[in-house]
Amino acid sequence: MNDAVTPSAGFYRGEVLHARTRPTRHDFRYNVDFVVLDLPDLSAFKTAKPVFGRNRFAPISFHDGDQLVPSTDCDTALDRLNHVLVQAGRPTVTSALLVTFPRFFGFGFSPVSFWFDASSKSGAPLLLEVNNTFGERHIYHLNAEGSRCHVIEKAFYVSPFNVMQGIYRVRFGSFDGCFSARVDLEVDDRPLLFTALRGRFRRASRWSATTAAARCIASGTTASPFIWLQGLKLRKKGLKPLMRPNSVSADTLISEPPRKRKPHQNH
């Protein structure tokens, strides 16, 4: 990445795509609104007030406590990012870009968030943050050298329809007025699942925030209902859910004891 292709802070209108290749094909997509935040000050979102808010109720809101380390010792999302970087022996940053799904009218679920270093000219990817519907959160460290393809070993239970083994290949497109990220899961050296998030940039303003909130009301489009629905469809296709493992990675920031019955995800 470089200055010319660093994603712009603001609202993004786009879609999430999923494509499973085996043991049975299963594809779906849904429309989403997401944000790219310039931390720590969120100056790009000043004109979106009061529709957009930080750490308060609003039609669209960002809460620092929704990200990364679940600790009161780190007040801001940037503090939480630097805490994670220090724990991993990596350099801290003075500013960051966060691609995430905000809360709409106080409710929200962000299956995935991407962190970029905005304090350097490279704008290199730093972290992939993943949440599942079991109340757990995990981070994957990305190659800060700016590689176009980041290969990471799977170490987090997301879908009961996938084994814990495998690797992810994370790729980012050119950020020329859009955002594009693709996460491919390979198991036994064969593709299993393709997931992509892409969207077009909308400058943060009261109008763009209002229209994003209105779309959420009109469509009822949020991540959780689609995840639950696709899990039911996979079961109808004959896929049997696997039990959540007892082992927890050191990079799983929030964890709960395994339980037999919980909502399903298709990641």
- 180 domain-assigned: yes
Tell me: pLDDT of 32 over 60.
Answer: yes
Cis peptide before 40 (omega within 30 of 0): yes
- 267 domain-assigned: no
Tell me: pLDDT of 92 over 60.
Answer: yes
- 259 domain-assigned: no
Tell me: pLDDT of 254 over 50.
Answer: yes
Strand 190-202's sheet: what is its strand order?
149-153, 167-172, 178-187, 190-202, 10-20, 26-39, 96-100, 112-117, 125-131, 137-141, 252-254
Number of CB atoms found within 10 A of residue 264's CB: 22
- 135 domain-assigned: yes
Most confident residue range from 135-149, 188-202, 207-221: 188-202
- 116 domain-assigned: yes
Q: Kindly indicate the confidence band of residue 226, based on its pLDDT and cuts at 50, 70 and 90.
A: low
How confident is the model at residue 241, as a pLDDT?
78
How confident is the model at residue 224, as a pLDDT?
60
- The mean pLDDT value for 134-151 works out to 83
Q: Kindly indicate the confidence band of residue 144, based on its pLDDT and cuts at 50, 70 and 90.
A: low
For residue 55, the enclosing domain spans 3-254
Cis peptide before 50 (omega within 30 of 0): yes
pLDDT 10s digits, 13-25: 999 999 999 888 8
- The count of structural domains within the chain is 1
Work out the angle at residue 62's Cα, subtended by the Cα atoms of residues 61 and 65, and round it to the nearest 5 degrees: 135
Number of CB atoms found within 10 A of residue 253's CB: 19
* Percentage of residues in the chain having pLDDT higher than 70: 87
- 265 domain-assigned: no
Q: What is the mean pLDDT of the chain?
A: 85
How confident is the model at residue 264, as a pLDDT?
41
- 22 domain-assigned: yes
- 264 domain-assigned: no
Q: Kindly indicate the confidence band of residue 253, based on its pLDDT and cuts at 50, 70 and 90.
A: confident
Q: Looking up tokens 């190659």, which residue turns up?
A: 143
Work out the angle at residue 141's Cα, subtended by the Cα atoms of residues 134 and 241, and round it to the nearest 5 degrees: 30
Q: Kindly state the tokens that stand for 239.
A: 């896929």
Tell me: pLDDT of 258 over 60.
Answer: no
Q: Kindly indicate the confidence band of residue 196, based on its pLDDT and cuts at 50, 70 and 90.
A: very high
